[in-house]
A = this chain, B = another copy of it.
Amino acid sequence: MIIILRKGATKEQISHIHDKIKSIGLKPHVSVGVDRTVIGAVGDESLINEEQLGTLDYVDEVVATSKSYKLVSREFKSQNTVVSVGDAKIGGKQLSVTAGPCAVESKDQILQTAQAVKKSGALILRGGAFKPRTSPHDFQGLGEEGLKYLADAASSVRLPCTTEVMDTRDVALVSEYADILQIGARNMQNYPLLKEVGKSDKPVLLKRGMSADVHEFLLAAEHIMNEGNRNIILCERGIRTFTRFSRNTLDLNAIPFIKQESHLPIIVDPSHGSGKRLFVHPLSKAAIACGADGLLVEVHPNPEEALSDAEQTISTKEFSALMKELGPVAQSVGRSV
């Protein structure tokens, strides 16, 4: 850790920090510069409370030299983590495409979708039963009934399935039906929920929060891994920015950066990443070209009738076309669909 003092810091002030670092068990290095004094603290940084040093009037900045994430970091594990679910090996050479409706609406709707996306090459089926809706007056999902329809549809086409869990009290129930537990963007920093799925033996699909920076995203995964669950799939799904022409801004910069910093696989959600159907095809290709390990796409037999996220949902027919277009792109970067 490095502590940069303000111009004019006194000897007493320098001593105070020097002694504080020493008392914690780290080695202080004082370096008196032309403009200001800099103090280094060598040793186990996790022993220092960075913010406490920041309270001192004569401290200008405190810079950490260690990463705050450990278990999820590539420094901890240099080889890529590959999460296996059904035929999908997320993080392997073959891309994993997860597809399905935003919400399970009926037995027929999810079955029809399952059959179509399976035929087009999806490896995992998605569908929401518990829906986080901005307004309490909108459709909230079918709950356990939806879970049943989803699991039945998935099983009938021999695909694993994923669905969102929002409440710590529902983790056990959702785990009965789902092969992957999904944590939505709004819950990325719901720590009790992260801990609960961290104790589960099901893989977790963790979506990036709307305004989470990458280190916070990785630290959310750290909360899960810290409880013992190492099967985590990250998902970039767009961040909130000033732009108004798209609902969110897909942040593809995050793909190469996370690949550098972490061993975990990362997929991209082009539906939420933009908020409009227009963008789904081009952004899916961009995500693959840029190194993503897969996609999470909202697909509905008839988007015009979809009960939620209709605007960003593509039809099963459009999904079939998309999968065909993805093949050559995947190949161009040494992957396959």
Smallest beta-carbon distance A224→chain B, Å? 9
Minimal beta-carbon separation of A139 from chain B (angstroms)? 8
CA distance A51 to B313 in the complex (A): 10
A43 contacts B54, C-beta separation under 8 Å: no
- The answer to whether A137 has its CB under 8 Å from any CB of chain B is yes
Chain B residue, CB-CB nearest to A248: B253
Whether A242 touches B245, Cβ cut-off 8 Å, given contacts A2-B63, A285-B290, A331-B328, is no
Interchain nearest-CB distance for A65 vs B (Å): 5
Q: Type the 1/0 row for A161-176, where 1 means its CB is closer than 8 Å to any CB of B.
A: 0000011111000000
Residues from chain B with Cβ under 8 Å of A311 in the complex? 51, 54-55
Instruction: Tell whether A192 is near chain B: CB-to-CB under 8 Å.
Output: yes
Q: How far is the CA of A286 from the CA of B284 in the complex (A)?
A: 9
Contact residues in B for A290 (Cβ distance below 8 Å): 282-283, 285-286, 289
- Give the shortest distance, in Å, between A156 (CB) and chain B (any CB): 27
Report yes or no: A213 in contact with B243, Cβ–Cβ below 8 A.
yes
* Neighbour of A51 across the interface among B46, B308, B333, CB < 8 A: B308
Q: Which of A163-220 contact B (CB under 8 A)?
A: 166-170, 186-187, 189-193, 195, 210-211, 213-216, 219
Number of copies: 4
A289: chain B residues at CB < 8 Å are 282, 285-286, 288-290, 329
Q: Which residue of B lies closest to A305 (CB)?
A: B52
Q: Are B333 and A285 in contact (CB under 8 A)?
A: yes
Report A330 CB to chain B, min CB distance, Å.
Answer: 8
A288 contact set on B, CB distance < 8 A: 289
Determine the chain B residues whose CB is within 8 A of the CB of A260 once the complex forms: 278
Closest to A134 in B: B219
- 0/1 per residue, A30-66, Cβ < 8 Å to B? 0111111010101111100101101110000101011
In the complex the two chains form, is B2's CB within 8 Å of A38's CB? yes
A133 touching B305 by the CB < 8 A rule?
Answer: no
A87 to chain B, nearest CB (A): 24
For the complex formed, measure the closest distance between the CB of A31 and the CB atoms of chain B, giving whole angstroms.
5
Chain B, Cβ-Cβ closest to A328: B332
Complex contact B192–A167 (CB within 8 A): yes
Asked if A256 and B242 make an inter-chain contact with CB atoms under 8 angstroms apart, the answer reads no
Q: Flag if A245 contacts B249 (CB, 8 Å).
A: no
Given A132-B189, A257-B279, A331-B332, 14 extra CB contacts under 8 A: A33-B65, A36-B65, A51-B310, A52-B304, A56-B304, A61-B63, A68-B134, A68-B135, A136-B195, A167-B192, A190-B190, A253-B279, A288-B289, A329-B333
Nearest 6 CB-CB pairings of A with B: A211-B211, A289-B289, A328-B332, A286-B290, A51-B310, A54-B311
